[in-house]
A and B are shown apart, each in its own frame.
Chain A
């Protein structure tokens, strides 16, 4: 999934197995939701987790742009701050949205790979 799109404000952490720069998946809000699906995290932990998840290292500005919009949509919620850092967690609505988006991507990837099989 992580190699489907090429977008903005992120950096590749890994190359594909052929060493070809196919780009990286970068839909910051979706990456944040996917990261928080495994438990609450603060900003740095999200960046590291997303880098492990799909090789994309979000910049801090991009990350907080995504966090702000996800929070106002009610898909994530802040927890009380730990010193100066604030953890976030995904809401029930956020989980529903994440599941729907990942299902769509899965169907898209399956259909695309199916078309490649005869070639």
Chain B
């Protein structure tokens, strides 16, 4: 089918449907025959989609997009744990500075140190699970999410390293 006609037919579908299926649908129309039956079938389906729209599931987003991947618990939990660790450590440092006027370094490992250690290590099996589950299915976005997880982990580690805590 003519590419312009394929795009024109695709534009007749509701925006939410186009957002999710438009690209692949237009590609399929372009590769197929541009006969009357195909046009009528596609127009009929567009009308049906307006009257009885497909809802729920993955309609609102591409399940393989970066955003959708980041919304998976095994993707965002390690990031959340790293950021929580960062906040806990910086809060403790800020409290120490406000009380003593300088960064306080405890000789003994206190509660903050234990929280830091738990948050920074418990996330490893979660990240490993994420990589094992998704790397083969969606390598590009999986590596991007992993880069975010690694950056968050390094950010969590940064105050300990730079302030010699």
Contact = CB atoms under 8 A, between A and B. Distances in A.
B125 interface: no
Interface stretch (B37-45, B77-85, B94-102, B156-164): B37-45
A78 B64 CA distance: 8
Interface residues of B, number: 35
Contact of A64 (B21, B31, B37): B21
A61 B42 contact: yes
A69 B57 CA distance: 9
Contacts, number: 84
Interface of A: 9, 11, 42-44, 47, 59-62, 64-65, 67-69, 71-74, 77-81, 83-86
18 contacts: A9-B45, A59-B37, A60-B28, A64-B28, A65-B48, A65-B54, A67-B21, A68-B49, A68-B59, A69-B54, A72-B54, A72-B55, A72-B59, A78-B64, A79-B137, A80-B64, A80-B137, A85-B24
Given A60-B45, A64-B21, A64-B45, 16 more contacts: A11-B37, A59-B40, A60-B25, A60-B38, A60-B41, A61-B43, A64-B28, A68-B21, A68-B59, A71-B57, A71-B58, A72-B59, A78-B58, A78-B62, A78-B64, A80-B137
